[in-house]
């Protein structure tokens, strides 16, 4: 691996990343990121769009130095080695210069590499159970490829506690990942975006679509106001009916008694049955939501 003398999150580092594939890009390219797709990543690199930080990302970035200190203390105690001191570093692959990794922590003399996460309670609970969240696995394998290391550590830091898990190099996965990353870089080179997937959205700016969409939004607002008024009137009319069936003013108020639904999950005879075999074939439907 080659060491790149760039400070992480600096303007120079951000500019450098647009023409490279970093470790955090690997889950996206491999289709394992719940946040982004290869198609959206392509446009972010082509248009040089910086990733907007949500609250969780901002909090994680702020906590990282504290988490790294906690990791160093824990790993020194675990390995009985006071010389261990991991520090952030940007490195580049010897084989493919477009593949880089911004390491959260590495101690080259002691050959210790760590990916530090400051996640929410769900991902931290996963680490407590001894599992690395799947969405981070390609990121770790990407780092193992760039550094050439055979193993690394995953550190989950939450509310002052750090959980450390090992991760070994998976050469089969790395080969699959390299194939996808090389193909993605070819998309960047040729300016041909990756294929859209179901989670991608085609941006429409044509006048007919836009005008109809704007009218749809107005209708939704009007409908919401009418539904609110309808519900208020309904409650008032039911109250005025005094629990009696009545008719007047063009409406009819009828009171019904509905039978309770059956809680199938509480039927002992059904517990051992595989109900999925009785499920109908999936059907497609479309929905429109106001953003």
User: Which pTM value belongs to this model?
Assistant: 0.72
Q: In the chain, what is the straight-line distance between the N-terminal and C-terminal CA atoms, in Å?
A: 45
C-alpha 289 chain-centroid distance:
21
How far apart are alpha carbons 112 and 290 in whole angstroms? Answer: 48
pLDDT of residue 190: 95
For tokens 């477009």, name the residue: 98
- 164 or 199: which carries more pLDDT confidence? 164
C-alpha 168 chain-centroid distance:
23
Give the model confidence (pLDDT) of 81-138 as tens digits: 999 999 999 999 999 999 999 999 999 999 999 999 999 999 999 999 999 999 999 9
pLDDT of residue 56: 64
- Residues in contact with 24: Cβ distance below 8 Å, sequence separation at least 6, in sequence order: 102, 139
What residue segments make up the domains of the chain, in order of their start? 2-190, 206-256
- Tally of residues, the chain: 291
Fold assignment, 2-190: Lambda Exonuclease; Chain A (3.90.320)
Return mean pLDDT, the chain. 91
For 11, the enclosing helix (H) or strand (E) is: helix 11-18
């Amino acid at each position: 691996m080659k060491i790149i003398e760039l400070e992480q999150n600096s303007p120079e580092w951000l500019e450098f990343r647009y023409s490279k594939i970093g470790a955090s890009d690997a889950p996206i390219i491999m289709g394992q990121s719940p946040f982004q797709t290869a198609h959206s990543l392509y446009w972010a690199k082509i248009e040089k769009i910086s990733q907007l930080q949500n609250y969780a990302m901002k909090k994680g970035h702020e906590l990282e130095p504290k988490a790294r200190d906690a990791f160093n203390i824990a790993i020194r105690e675990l390995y009985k080695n006071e010389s261990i001191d991991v520090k952030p570093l940007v490195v580049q692959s010897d084989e493919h210069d477009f593949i880089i990794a911004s390491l959260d922590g590495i101690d080259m003399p002691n050959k210790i590499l760590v990916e530090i996460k400051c996640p929410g309670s769900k991902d931290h609970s996963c680490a407590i159970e001894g599992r690395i969240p799947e969405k981070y696995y390609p990121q770790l394998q990407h780092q193992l490829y760039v550094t050439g290391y055979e193993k690394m550590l995953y550190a989950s830091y939450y509310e002052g506690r750090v959980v450390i898990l090992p991760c070994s190099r998976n050469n089969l996965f790395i080969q699959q990942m390299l194939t996808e990353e090389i193909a993605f870089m070819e998309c960047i080179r040729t300016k041909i975006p990756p294929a859209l997937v179901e989670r991608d959205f085609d941006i429409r700016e044509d006048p007919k679509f836009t005008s109809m969409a704007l009218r749809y939004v107005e209708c939704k607002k009007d409908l919401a106001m009418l539904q609110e008024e309808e519900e208020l009137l309904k409650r008032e009319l039911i109250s005025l009916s005094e629990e009696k069936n009545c008719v007047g003013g063009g409406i009819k108020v009828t009171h019904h008694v509905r039978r309770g639904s059956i809680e199938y999950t509480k039927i002992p005879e059904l517990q051992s049955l595989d109900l999925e075999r009785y499920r109908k074939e999936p059907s497609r439907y479309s929905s429109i939501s106001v953003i």
